[in-house]
Amino acid sequence: MSLREIAQALGTSVDTRPEQEVSRVCIDSRTVQQGDLFFCIVGRNLDGHGFVRQAVEGGACAVISGRPLELPVPVILVRDTTLALGRLARFWRERTKARVIGVTGSAGKTTVKEMLARVLAVAGRTGKNFRNLNNQIGLPLSILEMDGEEDFWVLELGISRPGDMDDLGYILAPDAALVVNIGPCHLEGLGSLAGVAREKSTLLDYVRPDGFACVGADYPALREACAGRGTAVVEFSGRNGRAAYACLEKKADGEGLLYVLRTPAGEIRLRVPDQVNVAENVAAVTAMSMELGLTPADIASGLAAYSPAPQRFAVSRVGGWTFIDDTYNANPVSMACSLDEAVRLAGDRRLVLVLGEMRELGADAEREHRELGRRIAATPATHCFFYGAHAGHVREGLEGFSGEFIPAAAPEDVLGVMRDLRSEKGVVLFKGSRGCKMENFYAALERSWA
């Protein structure tokens, strides 16, 4: 894009070097390359305007600024640099030939995005967000990284307060939306499960007129929120629900996992690697892929190439133990799913849980941690280490738990107990909210046992 095109997209003008071509958009002065356009983003802790000279010295050919600046490169003035970044991304989205899919949900959206991108790559060039760059800054940056000649864009959208989905939906204007699920997360901003459903379903308002949405049918509040929004809805279920696409069976067969799914085209079987382990995710990817015209063979081929993103149920072997690194984040939905899968993987072996508290649950925090205690009590875990202020509430829900519950203030509290179990075989699940940094517990045990 030229500076003239960029200025027009932002509703302003540029007087100097209007035909200058921009090679890339950047917001970090440390990573600027020759020919980049630097956005002075104002964040919670840092103001990009304070790093603009470093960006120019690094090769920035122009700057988007919220205030007048004296620089040796063109400066395009805007009222709000973050809004301008989103507006430029929308301009670029309008120029692509790709079919654009927006993915959202309370749990598993990054995994579903990665799986769907793998599947769609079987049918054509596919672009996606890097990891979870999915907010009002990350989403535009992801879009502006695309060259526009891809066949598919698969982009996840993350929200935490009312109005977020309006911002992101406008930027993306998807051809199709995939709403995986809802759960009690970000309740400090969204208030209630109904608030989560309402905000997630807002994405359907921004789907193109001839587009459609695939929606998880196992969540009544989500189904209700999506109804009547004017977008065609196709439902899927990971629980053999009454949906167009539903997982009927999931079983290990020695070569991975075999899923049997009901689809509008009839019953299909998908044999996939063991790491494709969540039925809801498989149903979601199958629904969106088949609605986009892909075949079951395409889906199986794409899922065979999938590998988990770091810290998202990444499985590794450490001696006779299987370590599950699911430390990126946690909420009640994802915690329940991870516990179920850890139990399946453990089988007859010892199961140890190293868990951190679930944050941003607002007034529901105590109740949800008691419910977590009940879920833990239903597992065969011999030890549950718990980090965080809600250990007491988890303990209150542990009635009938046959294992040991051990509040852990630091990784050393886990290492001391686990040292005696090293010679055995078993499974350890590490999981907690982002602020708990449960990866420190994972790394400490992995280092001590390596």
Q: Which helix (H) or strand (E) segment is 39 a member of? A: strand 36-39
Whose tokens are 């309008």? That residue is 94
Write the burial class of residue 264 (CB in 10 Å: 0-12 exposed, 13-18 middle, 19+ buried). Answer: exposed
- Please indicate if the annotation marks 211 as binding a ligand: no
Task: Considering only CA atoms, give the Rg of the chain.
Answer: 23
Q: Please state, in angstroms and rounded to a whole number, the distance separating the CA atoms of residues 7 and 182.
A: 39
| Sheet strands side by side (includes 404-407) | 314-318, 321-326, 426-431, 350-356, 383-387, 404-407
Is 302 labeled as ligand-binding? no
Contacts of residue 46, defined as CB under 8 A and 6 or more positions apart, other chains included, come to none
109 labelled binding-site residue:
yes
Residue 59: half-sphere exposure toward Cβ, Cα within 13 Å: 13
Distance in Å from the first CA to the final CA of the chain: 50
C-alpha triplet 322, 325, 327: angle, nearest 5°: 155
313: left (phi over 0), alpha (psi -120 to 50) or beta: left
Is 173 marked within a binding site? no
Q: What angle do CA 133, 139, 145 make, to 5 degrees?
A: 90
Written as one string, the DSSP assignment of 17-30 is: -TTPBP-EEES-GG
CA–CA dist 222, 380 (Å, integer)? 32
User: What is d(CA 364, CA 317) in angstroms, rounded to the nearest whole number?
Assistant: 36
Runs of H (alpha helix) within 305-363: 332-346
Answer yes or no: is 104 a known binding residue.
no
With beta carbons less than 8 A apart as the criterion, state whether 164 and 137 touch: no
**Residue in 316, 375, 380, 323 with CA at minimum distance from that of residue 354:** 323
Q: What are the binding residues?
A: 105-111
Q: What are the binding residues for ATP?
A: 105-111
